[in-house]
């Protein structure tokens, strides 16, 4: 069992960029694009408990913002278990993290994110 606590710096830079792009798109009201950047941040941050939990918290806030109560409920559940599953290395790789997908469903990772992950993974 591999315990993931620290995100490699190269991945972290891309993760942080997705969070910045999320914030920028949210600020100008481009909600679908903002959400897409959260999903991408989730894919990058999912193996790491702190970043994984941070993305779910941002998804929860987004759910409240758009008054999507299904998303709010889904994110509350994911906040309780997501970080723990990351800590012990048991996450469904590629899952985008929203309540619109089953929480344990592995998904295809976009090619650009896959390249980042493989380039910087320890």
CA distance 38 to 98: 9
User: Is residue 122 in some structural domain?
Assistant: no
Task: Tell me how far apart the terminal alpha carbons of the chain are, to the nearest angstrom.
Answer: 15
Domain count within the chain: 1
| Radius of gyration in angstroms for the set of CA atoms belonging to the chain, rounded to a whole number | 13
DSSP letter string, 18-33? HHHHHHHHHHTT-HHH
pLDDT by residue for the chain (122 residues), tens only, comes to: 456 788 999 999 999 999 999 999 999 999 999 999 999 999 999 999 999 999 999 999 999 999 999 999 999 999 988 777 777 777 889 999 999 999 889 999 999 999 999 998 76
Residue 2 lies in a domain: no
Give residue 58's domain range: 9-117
Is 27 a member of any domain?
yes
Could you tell me if 8 and 90 are in contact, meaning their C-beta atoms sit under 8 angstroms apart? no
Is 3 within a domain?
A: no
Which pLDDT score is estimated for 122?
60
70 by Cβ neighbours in 10 Å (0-12 / 13-18 / 19+) ranks as: exposed
The answer to the question of residue 54 being in a domain is: yes
């Amino acid at each position: 069992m591999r315990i993931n606590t620290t995100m490699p710096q190269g991945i972290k830079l891309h993760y942080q960029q997705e969070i910045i792009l999320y914030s920028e798109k949210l600020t100008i009201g481009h909600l679908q694009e903002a959400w897409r950047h959260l999903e991408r941040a989730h894919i990058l941050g999912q193996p790491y408990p702190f970043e994984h939990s941070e993305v779910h918290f941002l998804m929860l806030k987004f759910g409240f913002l758009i008054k999507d109560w299904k998303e709010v409920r889904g994110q509350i559940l994911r906040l309780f278990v997501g970080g723990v599953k990351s800590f012990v290395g048991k996450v469904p790789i590629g899952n985008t993290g929203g309540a619109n997908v089953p929480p344990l469903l592995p998904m295809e990772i976009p090619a650009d994110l896959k390249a980042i992950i493989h380039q910087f993974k320890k």
